[in-house]
Amino acid sequence: MKGSTLQSLIQLFFADRLQKQLGVSPHTVAAYRDAFRLLLKFASERLSRGPSELRIEDLDAPFLGKFLDYLEEVRGNCIRTRNNRLAAFHAFFQYVSISEPALALHCQRVLAIPSKRHERGPVAFLTEEESAALVAAPSLDAWVGRRDRALLLLAIQTGLRNTELTSLRRQDVEFGAVAHVRCFGKGRKMRCTPLRQDVAAVLKEWLSRQEGKPDDPVFPSSKGGRLSADALQRLVAKHAATARKIYPSLATKKVTPHTLRHGAAMAMLRRGVDLTVIALWLGHESTETTQIYLHADMQLKEKALAHAAPSGAPPDRFRPTDSLLAFLERL
């Protein structure tokens, strides 16, 4: 019996498995789509066949290993990006192993490719002074400058993710007794984030000058559609370059949209906001993710050191009373 083709398996994986059965978010679908776009282009060039002519046997473990090396060595992707691409392929081959039992061994070999361990670098964030310089960078003489100022101000105060910012619609902004924005984050989880009065005022003025329908984006592109991820990256980089002339310390930092999210978290942490509240604010699944900010701020560590002054009492070393505990202690 002839098995399914690679093309049909990929189509079923996205249309049936991801969207109908699992109901994953559009962000996950987009991430997996981009991973397969890169892989199919790579395979097509190496094997001299069109993507629709490729066979699933072509995508074996050694070939996928070469592709992962290509991501790091040629495209310059970080290990985290490499692991994210691999996660997409693992999900696909898990589906194939169920749909096509004859390919089970082939799939097991691919699923055995491990994620690569990596060191987590320090979290990059902007101080409040650097954030103020960034917000002041756009020129308010033009439409695009007023849009960019409102976007940067909202991003710095709310800490919304890149896709949450670009997906924000006019109907998602409320200017009632408690001004706030609604967004769908990872896992299709909706959360409401309150706005400071100054941010709400700037956002209200921006929207009042723009005609639009409730479903229209809050921060449209010059053509009226949603900003792309690349456009948002360029927008932030452009104004960061201008802000560096005003605040030289920005020259030592790579400023991205995610840097603004980190800055929002650090600003709350420095004001004594509880870590669980910050996790809810940012839409983190667990406070373990939020704990990275505790390690990032030297000021917090210096405060902890001030409370750790020696009391004058000699330290009392733990001495196990049980032989088994003593054995474990010596390991």
Q: Could you confirm whether 186 is annotated as catalytic?
A: yes
**DSSP code per residue over 177-201:** SS-EEEEE-GGG-EEEEE--HHHHH
Q: Which residues in 133-154 are b (16+ Cβ under 10 Å) and which e? A: bbbebbeeeeeeebbbbbbbbb
Q: Could you confirm whether 258 is annotated as catalytic?
A: yes
Which listed residue (17, 106, 244, 261) is catalytic? 261
Of 16, 113, 112, 97, the residue nearest 56 (C-alpha): 97
Which listed residue (32, 95, 247, 293) is catalytic? 293
Q: Could you confirm whether 262 is annotated as catalytic?
A: no
In one-letter notation, the amino acid at residue 216 is D
How many C-beta atoms lie closer than 10 Å to residue 211's C-beta? 7
Q: Give, as one character, the DSSP assignment of residue 18.
A: I
Q: Which two tokens stand for residue 19?
A: 């969207």
Confirm if 137 and 153 have CB atoms less than 8 A apart: no
- 233 burial type by CB count under 10 A (0-12 exposed, 13-18 middle, 19+ buried): middle
Q: Could you confirm whether 295 is annotated as catalytic?
A: no
Q: Could you confirm whether 293 is annotated as catalytic?
A: yes
Which listed residue (27, 161, 239, 244) is catalytic? 161
What is d(CA 170, CA 217) in angstroms, rounded to the nearest whole number? Answer: 6
What residues are paired with 182 via a beta bridge? 192
Q: Could you confirm whether 109 is annotated as catalytic?
A: no
Which listed residue (90, 180, 186, 270) is catalytic? 186
Which listed residue (169, 191, 258, 270) is catalytic? 258
Q: Which residues are designated catalytic?
A: 161, 186, 258, 261, 284, 293
